[in-house]
Amino acid sequence: MANITQYIIKLLGGSGRTFQMRTNILVSAIMKVAGLAISLLMVPLTLDYVSKAEFGIWMTISTILYWFAFLDVGLGNGMRNYMAVSVSEGDMPKAGRYFTTTMLLLSMIFGAAYLVAVLLLPFVNLSQLLNTYILPESYLKKVMLVALTFTLLLFVLKNIGYVYAAMQRYAVTEVLNLLGHLLGFIAIIILTYTTQGSLFYLVASLTAAPVIVFALSAIPTFHRYPDMLPSRSKVDLTLRRQVIGKGLGFFGIQITSCLVIFGSSNVFISHFCGPEAVTVYNLSFKIFNLLIVGYTIFISPLWNGYTDASVKGDWFWIERTFYRSLKVWGLFVVVGVVMLLGSGPFFQLWIGDKVQIPLSVSVCTLLYVLLFNLNNCATYLINGLNVIRVQIISSVVTTILYVGVVCLMGHSLTLEGMILCLAGSYALMSAVHLYQCHLILRRRAKGIWYK
């Protein structure tokens, strides 16, 4: 792993903006590894504190709360891009107005969502929804309310991290995320020694921890960047059209390529191939997903790096960095093939004979993961340059084709066929987006290709 990291650093080597990217990548990688370790340790610790059934309830509740993240309709990403442009232009007051205005809009959206949820909660039968009757209905409602409160607060406060992304300090956001996980981990340790197992205490601790971290991070953030401190005078509703317009574009991409294609795979596989196939697919994906996690670590800082470089007209850096990111993708292809060759013995060691993972499933999953990464390589450049019109169209069209093919042919498809449908979707999007990147880098992008 050390040799891989050194090779990637060499590919990204340089000074100035590139040095900043390198620092972000290394720190982010360390934070991701530490976060993964905490997550692994958290599972047995939590299962010692609450029952398996209560742990399952928490997992189900967290899945439900995940859907609330899409209520920001892409405003966070829209704000991120415009803030990065303002920072690169040296206009910090304008960046502050983008931040304040967007935070106001997000507070209004999530405030309204919270009010609606609180009003509807008394009429929802959570016991039936969660398919559990081991806890009183009133207790489940109390757990859901506290989880909802802190989760919606986090969706607003976590945008403080975009301040650092705009400043080319993406790694700080990863540090804040890790501190949130660490605080939750410490809270569970304390609860284990001071209280009896309680789902309410568990959920309150895990949802409150990241909120506390991001809320406290506001103090040093606004002290260092006073132009970002929200105030009534910085609310500029003339900017809302830009932020909302671009945000809705990102929202469309999230709903289609992220939620429908990437996020619904288990639903389609379960419906057409059965729940056992879902287990086989997820065990295979869990291993090869490490390639997605690893590659995302290395390309995430590039988003706003591309923004900064485009504002300053540094197209040489953009072109060089993009082609180097493709080389890094090629390196992950090699790593993926090595993982594939060793997957059989690994699965035998990991799960024994409990579940059989056919080599054909692993091959299809690896192909899907590699194409997913390739698409991300292209879209991070497109997103950074704020030219997402083609990406919106390709995401919508590909999603329609994917759903249509799966619904029409699903009953005749094997698990491998279902995975290849996923791979085909990202292959199509990758082809379109790489072509757009080619036009952009050759300065030949016109019309819709540069909107």
Report pLDDT digits (tens) over 67-81. Answer: 776 666 677 777 888
Token readout for 398 is 């590909």
Share of the chain above pLDDT 90, in %: 37
Terminal Cα distance for the chain, rounded: 39
Q: Which of 198, 214, 235 is the last residue of a domain?
A: 235
213 and 276 inside one domain: no
15-24, 131-140, 354-363, 414-423, range with greatest mean pLDDT? 414-423
224 lies in the same domain as 270: no
- Name 404's Cβ contacts closer than 8 Å, sequence gap at least 6: none
- Residue 336 falls within a domain, yes or no? yes
Q: pLDDT grade, residue 2 (50/70/90)?
A: very low
Whether 368 and 296 map to the same domain: the answer is yes
Over residues 90-94, mean pLDDT: 89
Mean pLDDT of 416-444: 94
Per-residue confidence (pLDDT) for residue 126, from 0 to 100:
83
- Residue ranges making up the domain that contains 281: 264-451
Q: Would the pLDDT of 12 be above 90?
A: no
Q: Are residues 162 and 294 in the same domain?
A: no
Does 161 lie in the same domain as 59?
yes
- Give the residue from 223, 80, 207 showing the smallest Cα distance to 145: 207
What is the structure's pLDDT at 39? 78
CA distances (Å), origin 383, targets 62, 160, 201, 281: 28, 20, 40, 30
Q: Choose the final residue of a domain: 218, 235, 252.
A: 235
- Evaluate whether residue 240 is within a structural domain: no
* 313 pLDDT higher than 70: yes
Query: Do the domain assignments include residue 167?
Result: yes
323 part of a folded domain? yes
Q: Round to whole Å and give the CA distance between 423 and 257.
A: 12
Sequence-distant (6+) residues with CB within 8 A of 432 are 390, 394
Residue 268 and residue 226 share a domain: no
Give the per-residue pLDDT at 86: 86
Range in 118-132, 176-190, 204-218, 358-372 the model is least confident about: 118-132
Q: How large is the average pLDDT for residues 161-180?
A: 86
Domain match, 66 and 197 both: yes
Whether 298 and 352 share a structural domain = yes
Q: Which of 216, 235, 254 is the last residue of a domain?
A: 235
In a domain, 349, yes or no: yes
Residues 210-224: what's their mean pLDDT?
A: 94
Q: Residue 149's pLDDT is what? A: 93
State how far the Cα of 139 lies from the Cα of 136, in Å rounded to an integer. Answer: 5
Best CA proximity match to 371, nearest among 302, 433, 445, 309: 433
The mean pLDDT value of the chain amounts to 85
User: Can you give the pLDDT at residue 14?
Assistant: 54
| The residue to which tokens 């609310």 are assigned | 235
User: What does the pLDDT read at residue 1?
Assistant: 47
**Non-local CB neighbours of 243 within 8 Å, separated by 6+ positions:** 75, 78, 79, 82, 98, 101, 102, 105
Asked if 23 and 170 count as a contact pair (C-beta separation under 8 A), the reply is no
Q: Are residues 313 and 217 in the same domain?
A: no
Q: Same domain for 231 and 365?
A: no
Mention every residue, 6+ apart, whose C-beta is less than 8 A from residue 273. 413, 414, 415, 418
| pLDDT of residue 26 exceeding 50 | yes
Residue 300 within any structural domain of the chain: yes
Tokens of 42: 């958290």
> Is the pLDDT higher at 20 or at 280?
280
Residue in the structure block whose two tokens are 């507070």: 107
Q: Rounded CA gap, 83 and 89, in Å? A: 10
pLDDT exceeding 70 applies to what percent of the chain?
Answer: 90
- Give me the pLDDT at residue 70, please: 65
DSSP annotation string for 244-286: HHHHHHHHHHIIIIIIIIITTHHHHHHHHH-HHHHHHHHHHHH
User: Residue 9 has what pLDDT?
Assistant: 52
- Judge whether 191 lies within some domain: yes
Q: How many domains does the chain have?
A: 2
263 pLDDT band, cuts 50/70/90, is low
**270 and 185 within one domain:** no
* Residue 10 domain flag: no
Indicate whether 404 and 270 sit together in one domain: yes
